[in-house]
Structure 1
Amino acid sequence: MVELGKIEKPEVKSYKSKRKLYVVPTLPFEELALQFNIDNAKIERFWGEVNEKIGYFASTYGDIGIVYVEGINEDESAGLGFFERYGKDSSHYKLAKTLIEKGANIKGIDKEELIGRSRLLFDEYSKSFLPEIKKLHEEFFGKNIDFEGWRNYLVKKIQETQDEMSRLVSKLIGEMPEDASGVLIITDERPVEYPPDVDVFMIRPPSFDELARNIRDSSREVLK
């Protein structure tokens, strides 16, 4: 596996017969930019660097055939319009446009049902730490309610949902055609078990860590 930030050109012959997947761990930078006052130029630099690394691999091993994107239903057809929300002048949009123009197809990796369930569980778990919510539960169910047990149950259901989502991603990647190359754009640290016969290259330029650090620092300031 090759992790980028530092590029060491691998021996082409050692990867010639395998399928290749270029994984781009990311966060919803565009959505968080206004909330945490993130410099848009840093976001542009991140996607520009990702584009550069993918271009390097494409020139070395061949064009990208599939772009796997989370947040899209697995059986839903999607195109460049999905990325227009980032603005047509953004590096994020330009990356997708370049890949699609060179023949890549957009492929969703999620099920709408699982996306909805995951959001509901995370929302419920987050609210469970609000004193007002605990008070409401105690008023209805009684003071002896096992509120910590409720949180543990939510954690268990979140893990089960994540495991189900992970299995779906692994299955879809496993169906990638022989000698094909794909890009997977996915939330950082979302668990995925990659098929053993797929060469996985992690594309994580230094600008990612800088953006993630900015978000952490800004969120701490908000909580003070």
Structure 2
Amino acid sequence: MSEEIAKIQKPESSKYADKKKLYVVPLVLGWKDAPPEYDAMLSRYWKEVSVQLSHLESRIGAVNYVFHESVDQSGAEGLEVLTNFSPVSKEMALRFLEKGAVIEATEDSELVRECLDWERFMLIGFTSQNVSKLVSEKFIQAVKSRYEFILGRISGTVKGNEAGVLFIREGNLMQFPADIEVFSIAPPVLDEIHRWLRERRDQIPPAPEDEQIDSCFAEKDTETPPAEDTKST
């Protein structure tokens, strides 16, 4: 059964013995009062992720480092960040820590805040095309800087013959260095989740502002929508 779920070939471990390895897990999140059918798919997703990661560890190498979107501290402090952000990936991170892995600071908190602030500006909409273009350019640069920081953290931390796991949302444009062997986790149920979300996109309520988590990594149109005409009549 695990072979069917993982759908990963069995490469010779010696082939990757002296190389940096990174297992990339799409970070799929739930929300408060989500429909039971979505919660069921989400549960299946993380179970399949666990199977695929175990499959990789047994054939490629055990995880030495845990990297996670929005985690800007290492150790216990980094793990605490996940308590509210993503409890399910926190549980998975704990399993790696119990086997000797460490959780690493993955992000720069100032870059995260900058990215989120520009994104909020984009959602407002503007009457000026010049301002719209400026905000879009600033947002793109903030996201690029964020990518570069994460890549630098991973590249500078993982050494030859070591492996890390990265939890990050889909839609990012990360270009990993050539000296890192990247293995993407792709559970079959992920396609079902994508289809379910597409079909119900307009039915999913936005999270309250105090529960929102930044989505700078989500693929989006960088053109800022124009605001309604604010001239008095």
For the Cα contact (< 8 Å) 2:74–2:103, is it kept in 1? Answer: no
Cα distance, 1:179–1:45 mapped onto 2, change above 3 Å: same
Cα pair 1:173 1:195 within 8 Å, conserved: no
In structure 2, the CA distance between the partners of 1:120 and 1:38, relative to structure 1 (3 Å rule), is farther
2 CA distance for matches of 1:35 and 1:94? 20
What's the counterpart of residue 99 of structure 1?
Answer: 96
Q: Find 1:207's aligned residue among 160, 175, 189.
A: 189
CA contact (8 A) 1:78 1:107 kept: no
- Answering whether residue 169 of structure 2 is matched by residue 187 of structure 1, we say yes
Q: Which residue of 2 aligns with 1:112?
A: 109
Which sections of structure 1, spanning at least 5 residues, go unmatched? 129-133, 135-145
- 1:34 match: secondary structure: coil
Check whether the contact 1:73–1:110 (CA below 8 A) recurs between aligned residues. yes
Q: Give secondary structure in 2 for the equivalent of 1:184.
A: strand
Q: Which residue of 2 aligns with 1:7?
A: 8
Equivalence for 1:147: 128
Distance 2:50 2:30 in 1: 17
Query: Residue 45 of structure 1 aligns with which residue?
Result: 44
SS in 1 for 2:71: strand
Matches of 1:79 and 1:172, distance apart in 2:
14
Q: In the superposition, relative to structure 1, how do residues 115 and 79 fare at CA in structure 2: closer, same or farther (>3 Å)?
A: closer
Taking a change above 3 Å as real, the CA distance of residues 42 and 156 of structure 1, as seen in their structure-2 partners, is: same
CA deviation string 1:84-141 (max 9, x = no partner) = 4479xx754432221111111111221111111111111110111xxxxx5xxxxxxx
Q: Which residue of 1 aligns with 2:153?
A: 172
Letter in 2 for 1:168: F
Gaps (5+ residues) in structure 2? 206-233
8 Å CA contact 1:36, 1:219 repeated in 2: no
Structure with more contact order per residue of length (Cα contacts < 8 Å, sep ≥ 6): 1
1:170, distance to aligned residue in structure 2 (A): 1.3
Contact map agreement 1:26 1:187 (CA 8 A) in 2: yes
Q: CA deviation at 1:157?
A: 0.6
User: Deviations 1:10-57 (Å, cap 9, x if unpaired)?
Assistant: 232322221110001223x223x6367762111111111111111111
The alpha carbon displacement at 1:76 in A equals 7.3
Give the SS at the match of 2:10. Answer: coil
Residues 77 and 91 of structure 1: CA distance in aligned 2, closer, same or farther (over 3 Å)? closer
Q: Which amino acid aligns with 2:148?
A: R
**Which structure has the highest strand share of the two?**
1
1:25 and 2:26 correspond: yes
For residues 104 and 204 of structure 2, the distance between their equivalents in structure 1, rounded to whole angstroms, comes to 36
State the one-letter code of the partner of 1:18.
K
Paired AA for residue 199 in structure 2: D
Give the aligned partner of residue 141 of structure 1.
none
The Cα of 1:77 is off from its aligned counterpart by: 5.3
- Normalised by the length of structure 1, the TM-score is 0.78
Residue of structure 2 in register with 1:126 after alignment:
123
Q: Distance in 2 between matches of 1:94 and 1:66?
A: 15
Aligned residues of 2:45 and 2:190 also touching (Cα < 8 A) = yes
Match of 1:139 in 2: none
Structure 2 CA distance, aligned partners of 1:38 and 1:123? 30
Tell me the percent identity. Answer: 25
Alignment coverage as a number of residue pairs? 200
